[in-house]
Every structure is written in C-alpha cells, then in structure tokens.
Structure 1
Amino acid sequence: MPAVRRLAGVPLRLSRAPRPHRGPSHVCGQRGLFRLRSPTIFVPACLWDLVERLFEVHRRAMDQSELNHNLVPLEVREEYELRRDLKVRAFRTYHAIPSQGYVIYSVKQKLKQEFIGLPGSEIKRLKLSGVEVCLAWWL
C-alpha cells in the first residue's frame, strides 16, 4: 500500500469519535504490516480512555494484532512537541459531540542580538541558568 508508506511519518489527529473518525486501528494495523514505526495519534483528552479501550477491544477480540501506537491526549490550547522545530496545538471546535481541531506548526529560533559574538560555552551557561537566549516564532 503506497499510501501507507507515504504517510509513514505523519501524525494522526482524531478530532472526534464517530464511526468515520475511528480509522486509527486500521492505520496502525497497516503500518505494522509494512514494519513502519508506530503512529502518534492525538485525541481530545476527554476521549483518551475510550479510544484506548477501542484499541484494546480490537486487539483482543478482532485480530490479536499489536496495533502499536502512541496515543496523546490533548486539552484545548495544549501543545505537544513533535520535534524541536515542530509542534501540535489543539483548538476548540463546535460540534454536537466533544471535538477539537489541531494545527501543526513550525517553530524557528534565532539567537538574540545581544548574545551574538559570545562564545558557545557562555551562551550555553546562560541558557542553563534560565536566560532566554533565542527569539522564537512560529510559521
């Protein structure tokens, strides 16, 4: 399945839990077949235990597959760092059932002007002492 391979590094975002939105167990199974790494799946925090139970039911009753995954519960406005330069942030959506949306954004950092020219060891010392040495913005 070429589509599964193309999405190997893309995190899933589960916005709500009606039937069409419960495809993560299928995706996990397909990724397992192709020996791809386990997906990271973001869910509304209020649905985390229910979604985890769905995975368990699928594991035990349906096909005894592992369905390895990293299920991450997020509250509205909560952020999750995928990488140092990439974050996911949950935002509120309006729906008849509990739901939320997700935005994935890139974070860029640049050394503040006042620290340019300092040796790396001094910048590291300042950073470890709690001084903000970089400007950060998202794209």
Structure 2
Amino acid sequence: MVDATMANPEPKAGGPILEPPLPGTHRAATDSPRQIPLLPALAVVETPRFHIVGYSVAGEESAVQIPELNVVFDIGKCPRPLLVSDFCLLTHGHIDHSAGIAYYLSQRIFQGMSPGTILCPVKIADGVAGIVHAWAALEGKVAQHRIVPMEVGDEFEVRKGLIARAFATCHTVPSLGYTLVDRREKLRPDLLEQRLPGHILREMKDRGEKITYTVDVPLVAYTGDTALGETLLQDGVRDAQVLITECTFFDPSHKRRAATGRHLHLDDLLEVLPQLRNDLILIAHVSRRTGLRWAAGTLKRALAKSSVHPRVEFLMDHAQHLHVRPGKAATFVPTEPPIADETDG
C-alpha cells in the first residue's frame, strides 16, 4: 500500500510543491456534503518513479499533476501547486476540468515562468483559444501561451524521451485521454550479441543503417471523463504502470445515470479489471453523492468475489495538507477525505 503519511520524507527533486492550509479551511467531517471547502486538500500518491498530486471530484474539479514529468492532466480551477507544470493535457472542455485555463496561463507569466502549453482535442482548440482571448480583453493583454490541437494517436514530445500520446475516450463532448510514454532507443539484439566496438557502430550509423530499435514504456494513462467502450482496453492504457481512471458512480441504481452522462459505473470497471495489467489503478472523479468510505467498501466486497486482486485505490483517499514547522522538514499529513462519508441516497 502507498504510505499516505510520508512521515518526515526527504524532499525529492521535482516532487510535489504544496502549501500550508489557510486558517479555517479544513472541512469538518460533520459538514454537509454540499458544502464546498475553501481550500481542498490535494491528494498525494508516491510511486517508485514519481508523485501523483491532484484533486478530482465529479462536477466540482479535476486536475491531476505528475510533477517530475512536468505535466498536469486537466487544470480544474488551477490549484496553486499545479502552476509549475509546463504542460497541461486537457481531456475535454467541461468546466470542472477546464475552468482554470486562463488563470494557469496568466499566472505562469506573472510568476516569471515560461509560457504554458495546453494540449487539447482538436475540436475544442478554437474554444480554448477563445477563453484565453476573452480574458485578454478584460486584462488588456494576452498571456503568452501555446495551444496544441490533438487527435487520437497524435504524439507530443514533452521532453527528450517522454511522449504524450492521445487515445480515444467516449464522453458527451469531444474528448481524449493521454498516456505518458517513456521512449527509449536500444541497440539491436543482433548487434549486441556481436559486441561490436563503438567506432564500427558509428560507421554503420553514418552509412544510414538502423542500429537501434524503439521501446515504448507507458508510464501513466489518464482517462478524463469517459464511458467504458474500449477506452480501458487500449494499448498504452491497460498496460500503463499507473492508470488514473474515472469511476463516477457506484450505487447499483445509478447505472442509467452513468450511461446517460457517459461516465463509468463500478460495474463497468469490474468488467474489464481482469484484462488490465497496471501496477496501480487510481480511481478518480467519484461523485460527491457517494461517500468515499462507502465506495471503498463496495469495491472491496466486489473484488472479494472475484479471482482478480489488482492494486486499486481511490485518488482522494490520499488527500493531504502540507504541514511546515520551523526548522523541520516538510511532512504530508493526511486529512479527512473531502468527499462526504455517506451512502448515496
């Protein structure tokens, strides 16, 4: 299991940057589920290669950052720690996923960072540009930025050896998911066996001979909002090291609502789990109508009846604030999940 306490960790280069909570911003466990916390606690999940930092509640806000990979999936209302990622991979235009676009781009310039880059489905690229220019009309200036329209199968180089690849999803508006791929060039096995000296290999390469082959390692796949279809079974999704998938509904009576809104229901996820090969599956975008503990119990009981026992966790089960004490290393402290602990009525 992921150590959610991360007691007295040594800060990692490129790791999550969180800030102390403002006074009075913790939401009590007894608060109504309809109350909106002033400052939501961000989830922090540590994996062997990177952190996953974010917040995702259906209809409210979704933004999930991989700090070490310089990427944020969706932008939500742009929680401050997510500003540092140079690349925003926008899955679709619904406001709970995209409300912070203009703020993200403007604040990066204001804070002296490089212009932000937004990848988005090609069908909403003009709309994204329109948002930026609408805010520019109010501010009197346009924040430098780059918008990259994407279609299924398109690839974008985040940095050397790290590729963002768009995959098909199924939602009520134009949408895409994204996989971050570690792309490596390796020496051909036949040449490796021959143990040829470096100068010979260089000569072969200079003659135009291909001496390497490409290996793609899918690191993280993020679905955004989607119905089931073939979304989770695509190459680069089902075999990514980490899969971050929506699962909005858990109550058996909400299957029709899931289908109407083109969201995933727990039954959809259970249907494909035996075919998924992910090291970790993080469930995001749970409806606020659903208590997180109730959903976790429902999932646990369902998995107990199955022969499949993958590592499945809820992103918001790792909600934490950063506590900083003078002279002490920063520590992540778990908080009550921001989703109300109640059954769906």
List 4+ stretches of structure 1 deviating above 6 A: none
Say whether residues 1:49 and 2:126 are aligned partners.
yes
In the alignment, which residue of structure 2 is the partner of 1:28? 105
Distance in 2, matches of 1:71 and 1:125, equals: 37
**How many residues are treated as equivalent by the alignment?**
135
What's the counterpart of residue 8 of structure 1? Answer: 84
Contact 1:4 1:31 in 2 (8 A): no
- 1:79-115 per-residue CA deviation (whole Å, 9 max, x = no partner) reads 1122220001111111111111111121111121344
Match of 1:136 in 2: 214
Contact 1:29 1:65 in 2 (8 A): no
C-alpha separation between the residues in 2 aligned to 1:43 and 1:53? 13
Label 1:114 to 1:39 Cα distance change in 2 as closer, same or farther (>3 A): same
Please state how far the C-alpha of 1:22 moved relative to its aligned partner. 3.2
Distance 2:123 2:109 in 1: 27
| Contact 1:16-1:98 within 8 A present in 2 as well | yes
Question: Which 5+ residue runs of structure 1 have no aligned equivalent?
Answer: none
Residue 117 (structure 2) aligned to one of 37, 40, 50: 40
Question: Which whole-Å CA distance do the structure 1 matches of 2:102 and 2:83 have between them?
Answer: 15
Asked if 1 retains the 8 angstrom alpha-carbon contact of 2:83 and 2:108, the reply is no
The yes-or-no answer on 1:122 pairing with 2:184 is: no
Quote the residue 2:189 is aligned against.
Answer: 113
Q: Distance in 1 between matches of 2:80 and 2:144?
A: 15
* Partners of 1:8 and 1:37 within 8 A in 2: no
Contact 1:108 1:138 in 2 (8 A): yes
Q: In 1, Cα distance between the equivalents of 2:80 and 2:188?
A: 42
Q: Residue 16 and residue 91 in structure 1: after superposition, are their counterparts in 2 closer, same or farther (change >3 A)?
A: same
Amino acid at match of 2:161: D
Does 1:64 find its partner at 2:152? no
Q: Partners of 1:12 and 1:6 in 2: how far apart?
A: 9
Once the 2 structures are TM-superposed, how far is the Cα of residue 5 of structure 1 from its aligned partner?
6.3
Percent identical among aligned pairs is 24
> Does structure 1 residue 74 correspond to structure 2 residue 155?
no
Q: 1:82 to 1:58 in 2, by over 3 A?
A: same
Could you tell me which residue of structure 2 aligns to residue 88 of structure 1? 164
Q: CA deviation at 1:6?
A: 6.2
Q: Give the CA deviation at 1:57.
A: 1.5
Matched, 1:100 2:176: yes
Inter-CA distance 123–7: structure 2 relative to 1 (3 Å threshold): farther
Shift of residue 7, structure 1, vs aligned partner: 4.5
Q: TM-score, normalized by length of structure 1? A: 0.83
Change (3 A) 1:27 1:6: closer
Whichever residue aligns with residue 162 of structure 2, its letter is: L
Q: Is the 8 A contact 2:157 2:163 kept in 1?
A: yes
Give SS of 1:16's match. coil
Q: Call closer, same or farther: CA 1:51–1:7 in 2, change over 3 Å.
A: closer
Query: What's the TM-score, normalizing by structure 2?
Result: 0.36
Aligned CA distance change for structure 1 residues 33 and 78 (closer, same or farther; 3 Å): same
Distance 1:36 1:18 in 2: 26
User: What is the CA RMSD across the aligned residues, in angstroms?
Assistant: 2.3
- Does the CA contact (< 8 Å) of 1:93 and 1:101 recur in 2? yes
